[in-house]
């Protein structure tokens, strides 16, 4: 792994009133690796990634990119630093076609008689290009509403929207296979490996240890708002990770 992490989170603490959701959590993510974050519900996984992506601001602690401290006041600001997320809900408008979803809120336009109008042809072409060049995915039709796509295809559209940004360096994926069958899960895991091969740091939040052990390089384990261990996937086992998740050594 790289000597200099792409992203570091140092001693991150997040409190909501009297509740401490995160306590002195460290995290590192390297370019060209998949870092999995695992833990039971309430372990602090979602809060941690929301701090990383600018949705929440930490009560204390630092975030560094390429060794330089950064502060995000919003998710939009995190995106300008190359950090984005694809959440479990995907945030797709089901009634719109894939191209409209790809450019939702950032539509491409052209001048017609001096008036800005949507450049639907260019948006379709760009959607087709990004899906194929970045993800190796070709949809049978770009005209159908997104709700008619399979779960894996919908996931691909959401990922394509994130990676369309040339500056994207870190992609957080929250439970990407949660609602997918075996074949769609395999396709989505392949997409993750494709992004890794392109040099992105992929941070995978998942309850599926099978998926985690298939695609991750390292596993960061959260319990009760703290990081209780980080292991190299190839040197670890499901039993070891489960022990960290449930606190087996405390019960021993």
| Residue among 68, 66, 54 at smallest CA distance from 14 | 54
Strand stretches in the chain, DSSP E: 7-16, 19-29, 33-38, 60-65, 68-70, 83-86, 109-112, 115-118, 170-174, 201-205, 218-223, 226-232
Provide the residue-wise pLDDT of the chain in tens; the chain has 252 residues: 446 899 999 999 999 999 999 999 999 999 999 999 999 998 999 999 999 999 999 999 999 999 999 999 999 999 999 999 998 777 889 999 999 999 988 888 888 989 999 889 999 999 999 999 988 999 888 888 999 998 889 889 999 998 888 789 999 999 988 888 889 899 899 999 999 999 999 999 999 999 999 999 999 999 999 999 999 999 999 999 999 999 875 544
Q: What is the pLDDT of residue 33?
A: 97
Q: What is the pLDDT of residue 228?
A: 95
Please give the class, per CATH, of domain 1-82+169-252: alpha beta
Tell me phi and psi for residue 230, to 5 degrees: -130, 125
Q: What is the pLDDT of residue 3?
A: 62
* pTM metric for this prediction: 0.90
* Domain extent listing, the chain: 1-82+169-252, 96-165
67: left (phi over 0), alpha (psi -120 to 50) or beta: left
């Amino acid at each position: 792994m790289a000597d200099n992490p792409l992203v570091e989170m140092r001693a991150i603490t997040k409190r909501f009133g009297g509740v401490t959701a995160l306590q002195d959590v460290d995290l590192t993510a390297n370019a060209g690796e998949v870092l999995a974050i695992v833990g039971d519900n309430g372990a602090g996984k979602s809060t941690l990634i929301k701090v990383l992506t600018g949705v929440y601001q930490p009560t204390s602690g630092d975030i560094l990119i390429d060794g330089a401290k950064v502060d995000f006041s919003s998710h939009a600001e995190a995106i300008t630093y190359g950090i984005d997320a694809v959440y479990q809900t995907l945030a797709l408008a089901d009634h719109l076609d894939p191209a409209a979803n790809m450019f939702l809120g950032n539509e491409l336009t052209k001048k017609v008689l001096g008036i800005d109008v949507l450049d639907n042809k260019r948006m379709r072409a760009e959607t087709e290009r990004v899906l194929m060049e970045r993800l190796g995915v070709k949809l049978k039709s770009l005209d159908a509403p997104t709700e008619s796509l399979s779960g894996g295809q919908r996931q691909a559209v959401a990922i394509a929207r994130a990676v369309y940004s040339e500056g994207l360096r870190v992609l957080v994926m929250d439970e990407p296979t949660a609602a997918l069958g075996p074949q769609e899960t395999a396709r989505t895991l392949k997409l993750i490996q494709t992004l890794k091969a392109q040099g992105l740091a992929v941070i995978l939040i998942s309850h599926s240890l099978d998926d985690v052990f298939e695609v991750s390089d390292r596993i960061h384990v959260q319990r009760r708002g703290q990081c209780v261990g980080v292991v190299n996937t190839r040197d670890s086992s499901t039993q070891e990770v489960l022990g960290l998740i449930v606190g087996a050594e405390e019960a021993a």
